[in-house]
Amino acid sequence: MATGEPDFDAVPTGIGLGLRARFLGKVADGEAVGKVAFLELSPENFMHRGGRNPAALQRCAEHHRIITHGLMMSLGGTDPFDDEYFATLREFTDRYDTPWHSDHACFSGLDGALLHDLLPVPFTSAAARRMAARLMEARDRLQRPMAVENISWYVGMGAGRGHGALDEPEFLTEVLERADAGMLLDVNNVFVNARNHGFDPKEWIAKIPLERVWQLHVAGHELWDESLIVDTHGADVRDEVYALLEWTLAQTGPKPVLLERDSNIPPLPTLLQEVAQLDEVYQRAIATHAAAADGKARHVV
């Protein structure tokens, strides 16, 4: 049975970049060396794939640490896990020796039909127990620690007022504690949900067991209509999200932080500039965290 926690000494901290096909070749050629702390990639974009990509990915892995982040595990789903998918994923995560594998707190399909999106689950204790059981099964199948990411959700799936109902931080905390898993805290998703559903994002984050946060994500979002913003990963990170990230990192201390971009992808040099800008925020936050820790230590002495 795999352990719940990764070897944190071997985990890169700082700002990483989501590896996308559009700039895979340039990263393979070393254009991001010294500019990103790690690369994150979605195995589904590379599994069962030949041609140019496998060799390019191998060269990327020679330059950078890899963290894997899946799209289709459907941790909140009810269909049984697919043996072939997991066998291929295990082979992939072993090859790149990711410190953990993460996927989303959502479901992606039902009765064998796969919808290729991150669909919300009811925030109930029953759904939390189910997700925790599936996280543990995934960890056992992959023989690797598992982390789960909070998603952007646009409508509550009911039970919001009913028996066994939880709020989202309570739901995620129950999942994390039951599964002894890590959390991939997507700061942009917290911001998007806070805007769409009218809550304070800092209060939300303060309710999460921060000692279980292994990694953070930031991305851009876009307006769907006057009352809704959607997590598209298709725009620059907004100032409010930078501020929320800085506040969060000041609580957590050094972590791997990923810049995600999935559409309207700019050229690699532009993305690397955004990584550098994000790193300034990161360094400020880590200094704040260190100063706070130092202050606490002096207070104890």
Partner 1 sequence: MSFEPEPSVVALVDAIRRGGADEAIAEDLAGFFRARGVSDEDIAVLAEAGASRVLVYRSLVHNRLRNAIRDFVPRTIARLGNDRFRADFARFIDERAAVSYYLRDVPEEFVAWIAPQWRSDPDVPAYLPDLATHELLQLTVRNAPGGGEPATGNPVALDRPLRFDGSVRLMTYAHAVHKLSSDKDDRTPPPAEPTHLLVYRDEAHKVRYLELTAFAAAALRHLIDDAQPVATALQAAAADLGAPLDDERLGAAALLLADLAERKVMLGAT
Name the residue nearer to partner 1 (CB basis): 152 or 248: 152
**Which of 161, 298 has the CB closer to partner 1?**
161
* Phi (first) and psi of residue 188, to 5 degrees: -65, -40
- 1 touches partner 1 (CB under 8 A): no
Check binding of 20 to partner 1 (CB under 8 A): no
With CB under 8 A as the contact rule, the residue among 15, 159, 175, 216 that binds partner 1 is 159
Q: x/- string (CB under 8 A) for partner 1, residues 130-149? A: x--xx--x------------
Q: Which of 16, 122, 145, 256 binds partner 1 (CB under 8 A)?
A: 122
**Residue selected from 2, 5, 29, 53 as contacting partner 1 according to rule CB under 8 A:** 53
Tokens representing residue 168 in the block: 């989202």
List the alpha helices (DSSP H) in 66-124: 83-96
Name the residue nearer to partner 1 (CB basis): 141 or 289.
141
Q: Which residues of 33-72 are buried (b: 16+ CB within 10 A; e: fewer)?
A: eebbbbbbbbbbebeeeeeeeeebbebbbebbbbbbbbbb
DSSP state of 165: B
The residues, ordered by sequence, that sit 6+ positions from 49 with a Cβ below 8 Å of its Cβ are: none
The answer to whether 175 touches 130, Cβ cutoff 8 Å, is no
Note whether 160 binds partner 1 by CB under 8 A.
Answer: yes
CB 160 → partner 1: shortest distance, Å?
A: 4
Site for partner 1 in 216-235 (CB under 8 A): 224-225, 228, 230
Contact 220, 237 (CB under 8 A): yes
Min separation Cβ 135 and partner 1, Å: 11
Burial 265-294 (b: 16+ CB within 10 A, else e): beebeebbebbeebbebbeebbebbeeeee
Binding site for partner 1 (CB under 8 A): 44, 47-53, 72, 77-78, 80-82, 85, 107, 109-110, 112-117, 119-122, 124, 127, 130, 133-134, 137, 154-162, 224-225, 228, 230
